[in-house]
Amino acid sequence: MSVFYSFSFASADLVLAGGALKTCSSMSTKNCSSTMDFNNAKATILYEVNQESLARYKALMEMHAVNNDFLYSKLLHINSIATGLTKNELFDALNDEGFSNSDIRGLSDAEYFILLDALEMQQLDENGARLQEKVSLASTKEKASVDVYTAFIEGARVKHAFKQETAVDNAQNTPIKIGVVTASSRDPFEAVDFYIGVFQQPNVEVVWLPLSPAFQKAAFVESMGGNGCEQLEAFRAQNHLYDKARLYPQRTDMQRQWCEDSSVAINTLSNLDGIFFNGGDQSKTLAALSTPTGQPTPFLTTLRSMWRNDQIIVGGTSAGTAVQAGGYANGRPVPMLTSGSSKGVLSSGVFSVPPVSERCEDEGCEQVLVDNAVTVNPTGGLGLFNFGLLDTHFSERDREVRLIAATAQSLQQFGFGVDETTALVVDMHNNQHNNQHGADFTVVGKSGVFIVDLGQGRVEELRNGAAGNKVIAGSASYVPTGAKGTIVGEKLTIDLTATTERTSTQHKRKNDDGVWREQSMRLCRDGIDAAWELEGTQHVLKKSADSAVLRSHYCGYSNVPFLVYEPQ
C-alpha cells in the first residue's frame, strides 16, 4: 500500500459501512426526498396461492423430504383467492385460517423458505420482461448514505486512474469498473438489481459476480473431477434457497457458466477497480470466497493481491463490512463476529460456533444457544482488515459490550464498531520509519465509529460458586463524522478537531439512539463522567488526563477509560 501521512479519500483502500444505507428505490420509496414515479419497476416481492404455486410447493417439499401437512391444508383453504400478496398479507391469510404467527416462527428454515420461494410470484412488465428494482441516488433523502457510496465510487475512480497511468497500453476514457457481490443474502439473485442501480452512473460499468456458497461448492466439486455445476440447484437448497431458476433464469445461467469455466471469475476480477459486498450474513460471503475445506479460493487470493498492490478498493455494508476482519494482530488470529447481542454476554460468554439462523434477529425463532449468545468465527473473515474485530449496526443496537467481550475473548487489542449510515474509510500504509504496519482512517456519513482499546486494559473473572462473570476495563473512543485517526502497531491516535457538524434534519438525534451513545453525551454536555446500568450490565466512562472530548452531533471522545461488569 502507498504511504500517506495525512488522510485523503483519494488514498482510500477500504470503505466499511455499518449498514442501514437508506436509499431511494422503487422498493423503498420512503427513502426518497420527493414523490418518485419509478416507471415499470418492482415495488415489492409478491406471492400467490393458486394451483400452480401449490404444485410447486408440494414438489419442493417432496424433493427435499420436508413434510408439513398442517400448513399445506391451510394453504389449500386460501387457494385461488390470493394473488399478488405481500409477505405480511400472506401471513395474515394463514393467520385467518388458523396458522398463527407462532406456528410460522416454529417452522424450520427449510419449511419456511420453501414456502416463500415456491409461492413467490413472477412479476413481468407489459413486454414480458422481468420487473426490476430501480434506484435513484439523486432523490435519496438520507444524504449520508450518498456520502458513503460516493466515498467508494471516488476511491474506485482513483484506482482506475492509477492503473491507466501505469498501463503499457494506456487506454483513455475507459469506464470505471465496479463489481458487486451479493453473497451475504440468502437470495443473492434478488439483491442484484439494487446494487447495480446504486453504482450505475456515467462512465461507470457495474458487473455482478455470481459468487455464493452454492457456487463455491459446485466449483470445488468440479475441481475434484465431479459434476458440480450440474448440482447447483441442489447446493442452493442446502443453503435454503429454492426454485430460483424460475424467477431468475438469466442469472442462474450466468452462475452455471462461471462454474463451468473457472477462468471467468479471475478474468472479471482482474479488470475491476472496486468491489462491494452487500449486507446479510457474513458467514455466507466467507463461504462464497472459500473452499468447502476452509481454504482461500483463487478468487480470494487474487483479490488480496490486487488490494495489496493498490489495484482495487474494497467496500461493504453490514455483513460486507464484518467479513473483512481477519488475518493476524497481537500475535493471534482476528475473529469475525457473526451474531449475538450485548445482553448477558459477560456471563454467558463468546462462542466459536456457527451463528443461529438469520431469521432469529428479524422474526424470532428457536435459539440453539444461550439467548443472545455472541458467536464468532475464530479464524476470521477475508482478512483485509487486520487491526481488530469489526462490528456493525453498532450504537443503534447497543453492541458496545458485545464488541468489548469478543475483543477480550480473542485477546485482541482493538475492536471497531461502525454505526448505521456511516463508514470507516481506511488508507493502509507501512510506516517507513519503524517498519510497522498501520493505517490512516476517517469517518464519513451520519454518526461515528466506536473503538475499544484493551492495550492497557484488564479482564478479571469473578466466581460465585459455579456461576461466573467478567469485569473488563480498557479505554474507549468514539470518532464522529469527519474526525480522523491513525493506527500504527499498538498505538492509536485520534484527531477530533476535523469533526463535521451535521445540521440537516436527517442528522438530528432521535429516540432510537443507543444507550451507550446517549449516556456518553454527559462527557461533552455536562463535563462529567457517565455511569449507567442496562440489561444487568454496569457501565462506567471516566475521563483521565489523556482523554479528549469534543461535542458535535454526538459526543466525540478519545482514550476514555471504561469499566463494564455484571454485579454479583
Stated pTM of the model:
0.94
In a domain, 111, yes or no: yes
Confidence of residue 369 (pLDDT cuts 50, 70, 90): low
CA distance 520 to 528: 9
Secondary structure element (H or E) that encloses residue 506, with its range: none
Please give the full DSSP string across 437-481, using - where no structure is assigned: EEEEEEEEESSEEEEEEEEEEEEEEEEETTEEEEEEEEEEEEEET
Mean of per-residue pLDDT scores for the chain:
91
Confidence of residue 385 (pLDDT cuts 50, 70, 90): very high
367 versus 474: the higher-pLDDT residue is: 474
In a domain, 447, yes or no: no
In a domain, 88, yes or no: yes
In a domain, 81, yes or no: yes
pLDDT > 70? residue 431: no
Confidence of residue 348 (pLDDT cuts 50, 70, 90): confident
Give the count of domains, the chain: 1
Least confident range from 169-178, 259-268, 470-479: namely 169-178
Q: How many CB atoms lie within 10 A of CB 31?
A: 19
544 burial class (0-12, 13-18, 19+ CB within 10 angstroms)? exposed
8-state DSSP, 29: G
**pLDDT score, position 371:** 62
Q: Where are the beta strands (DSSP E) in 103-209?
A: 176-181, 204-209
Burial 469-493 (b: 16+ CB within 10 A, else e): bbbbbbbbbbbbbbbbbbbbeeebe
**pLDDT score, position 498:** 86
**Across residues 325-352, what is the average pLDDT?**
93
* Closest among 500, 487, 502 to 453, alpha carbons compared: 487
In a domain, 70, yes or no: yes
Residue with cell 450474513: 281
pLDDT > 50? residue 1: no
pLDDT > 70? residue 362: no
Output the CA angle 561-565-568, nearest 5 degrees. Answer: 150
Confidence of residue 436 (pLDDT cuts 50, 70, 90): low
In a domain, 71, yes or no: yes
Range of the domain at 96: 47-119
CA distance 243 to 14: 35
**pLDDT score, position 35:** 81
Tell me, letter by letter, the H, E, C secondary structure of 387-433: CCEEECCCHHHCCHHHHHHHHHHCCCCEEEEECCCEEEEEEEEEECC
5 burial class (0-12, 13-18, 19+ CB within 10 angstroms)? exposed
pLDDT > 70? residue 370: no
**pLDDT score, position 183:** 98
Please give the full DSSP string across 338-384, using - where no structure is assigned: EE--STTHHHH-EE-SPPPPTHHHHH----SSSTT-EEEETT-SS-S
Confidence of residue 551 (pLDDT cuts 50, 70, 90): confident
In a domain, 67, yes or no: yes
Least confident range from 242-246, 282-286, 366-370: namely 366-370
**Across residues 496-503, what is the average pLDDT?**
77
Per-residue pLDDT of 528-543, as tens digits, reads 999 999 988 999 999 9
Least confident range from 334-348, 455-469, 506-520, 552-566: namely 506-520
Confidence of residue 347 (pLDDT cuts 50, 70, 90): confident
- φ, ψ of residue 497 in degrees (nearest 5): -70, -20
Facing residues of 453 across strands?
414, 475
Per-residue pLDDT of 186-230, as tens digits, reads 999 999 999 999 999 999 999 999 999 999 999 999 999 999 999
Per-residue pLDDT of 287-311, as tens digits, reads 999 999 999 999 999 999 999 999 9
In a domain, 87, yes or no: yes
pLDDT > 60? residue 432: no
pLDDT > 50? residue 103: yes
